[in-house]
Amino acid sequence: MTTIQEFHKKSIEQPDAFWGEEAKSIDWHKPFTQVLDYSRPPFAKWFVGGETNLCYNAVDRHAAKRPNDRALVFISTETDQEIVYSFADLKQEVMRMAAVMQSLGVGKGDRVLVYMPMIAEAMFAMLACARIGAIHSVVFGGFASGSLATRIDDATPKLVVSSDAGMRAGKAVPYKDLLDEAISLAEHKPSKVLMVDRGLDKGFNKVEGRDVDYATLRAQFMDADVPVTWLESSEPSYILYTSGTTGKPKGVQRDTGGYAVALASTLKYIFCGNEGETYFATSDIGWVVGHSYIIYGPLIGGMCTIMYEGTPLRPDPGIWWQIVEKYKVNVMFSAPTAARVLKKHDPAYMHKYDLSSLKHLFLAGEPLDQPTHEWIMGELGLPVIDNYWQTETGWPILSAMPGVEKTEIRFGTPSFPVYGYNLRIFREDGTICDPDEKGIVGIVPPLPPGCLSTVWGDDARFVSTYFSLFREPQVYSSFDWGIKDKDGYHYILGRTDDVINVAGHRLGTREIEEAIQGHSAIAEVAVVGVADQLKGQMPMAFAVVKNADHIATPELVAALEKAVMKKVDESLGAIARPSRVHFVTVLPKTRSGKLLRRSIQALAEGRDPGDLTTIEDPKALEQLQLALGSKT
């Protein structure tokens, strides 16, 4: 049996042979003549000369063999809708959307900006773009007008596809007014806006001559037969802007052939998902997980994918597990934040449903702390696999790979470098760290198939942003601190710019957070570095408790704060002890579950917290200000 180490070694030492074999997992219209062209470092071109199409691989080839099998299940607990689409249904809907786009002048190479809630039409729009060779750029529906306008100006779309409104926690979230304002702010003016009217915002304005109704146009193309536009492997499939970018947004440009091959490989080796099975990723299409593991990955692998509009708590904390039982979900993908949210609720919700179909739960998006990892794996009684990756890579960098070898799952670690990634932990002088020595997680190029090929419209920025950490050797920087232990397991310690320098000692916020989460009363925590005149920086913690009784009186607050600090002392030493532990009921996060660390830090230092338009719960900001005694 091949070990993970042997498998990984082959992918690094024999990339042509390794990826040439993996390329057989997808269908090619025209065979490639070269596996890898790395003649212009750090730019890599995979499967040179080969022609393929993401939509064809995701939809057509399965519709031909298994037309009546389930391809998509759309579930909205916000609007109480549940619609099942077969592969034949999905293909027809995608062709209808593609025909509508072509009627509006969209063709190969044109950009289409998708600003949509989690509805089936959003998937149709993405796949339709792929079908006709247009380049989609999905912008998360929670972004405000200013952020949307910068993305419109960078991508210069010919068409915007949007909706009147999304739904969140039972409330309509209007999109159209935000979109209209964004277009008014943007220098680039899209020629058309295609509107999916859900009937949630009765009063939205229609701009004559620009806005067109999707249902009306769709009715004209019910029997549309739109042929596939074949693309050379390295031609762009989509642009996805990295969240949290300051200044001009940074558009990650993805290729076509390399991405399809990489995703197909992950279904086999990481996720263990087979044709005819069901995949449920709880992310949003506005983020990379939604692109890779709601839309393209499962469908390329011939799986049914579940697209979910709603929260993990509506109508109750058992909804996700109810879906697992009903649709016999085999692979599930979520985020550590979601696990921590569920941790606050009665695990009986998890146990009332039959989860026997579920092989693995995968968690990614942020570091998975050991207490949460241990808790959810214990409650589910099945492997919970932490994996680490980025918008830029498009698929996991670090993960267990049960499809290659079943290895021990250790809590709090995303395990091993995935095949194709020549990953090292580097000191700041460019030398390689020893085991258990903290350093910067870097990847020696070429990056494997499916990773970003460049920054949209800015090759120089691609090089200066990602490959300027060292002069020798040239390394892709993840901007994350990490450690590799003596057994080869890797630990991610947080962003390089989240490291706190306390009196010359470097402390990762992740390390402190994990120590605090070791206290039985703590459900969730965020630690930031706050300026300190004496020591440079001091850690400050903001913690959510499991039970409000713990902080019912000032005396209990003081006692819990003292106990939490003692926990840090015991785990990391007094040098890592937070200056304060503030208790709040909710932490400020984006809707995708990422902590707004920069904003937390800014408020703690009495500075402007910046753009908070993507905040999930505005009450979190008030809680923070109250805890800090701020009048901001």
Residue 612 falls inside a structural domain? yes
Question: In angstroms, rounded to a whole number, what is the distance separating the alpha carbons of residues 349 and 544?
Answer: 21
One domain for residues 328 and 279: yes
The amino acid at 57: N
Biggest CA-to-CA distance, the chain: 72
Residue 578 falls inside a structural domain? yes
One domain for residues 320 and 397: yes
One domain for residues 446 and 586: no
**3-class secondary structure, 34:** strand
Q: What pLDDT does 588 receive?
A: 87
Q: What pLDDT does 495 receive?
A: 72
Residue 493 falls inside a structural domain? no
One domain for residues 142 and 209: yes
**Number of domain units in the chain:** 2
Residue 402 falls inside a structural domain? yes
What CATH number corresponds to the domain at position 522? 3.30.300.30
Answer whether 176's CB lies under 8 Å from 162's CB.
Answer: yes
Residue 496 falls inside a structural domain? no
Q: What pLDDT does 613 receive?
A: 67
Q: What pLDDT does 381 receive?
A: 95
Residue 495 falls inside a structural domain? no
One domain for residues 373 and 510: no
Range of the domain at 520: 503-628
Domain boundary pick from 426, 449, 480? 480
Domain boundary pick from 480, 511, 540? 480
Residue 511 falls inside a structural domain? yes
One domain for residues 420 and 515: no
The phi, psi pair for 194, rounded to 5°, reads -95, 120
Q: What pLDDT does 630 receive?
A: 45
Q: What pLDDT does 112 receive?
A: 98
One domain for residues 248 and 208: yes
For 119-146, the DSSP string reads SHHHHHHHHHHHHHT-EEEE--TT--HH
- Residue stretches of the chain with pLDDT short of 50: 244-246, 630-632
One domain for residues 124 and 223: yes
Question: In angstroms, rounded to a whole number, what is the distance separating the alpha carbons of residues 74 and 85?
Answer: 8
Mean of the per-residue pLDDT values for the chain? 92
One domain for residues 180 and 217: yes
Domain boundary pick from 424, 449, 480? 480
One domain for residues 472 and 529: no
Residue 316 falls inside a structural domain? yes
One domain for residues 319 and 424: yes
One domain for residues 237 and 122: yes
Question: In angstroms, rounded to a whole number, what is the distance separating the alpha carbons of residues 104 and 158?
Answer: 9
What CATH number corresponds to the domain at position 458? 3.40.50.12780
Question: In angstroms, rounded to a whole number, what is the distance separating the alpha carbons of residues 368 and 485?
Answer: 17
Answer whether 426's CB lies under 8 Å from 286's CB.
Answer: no
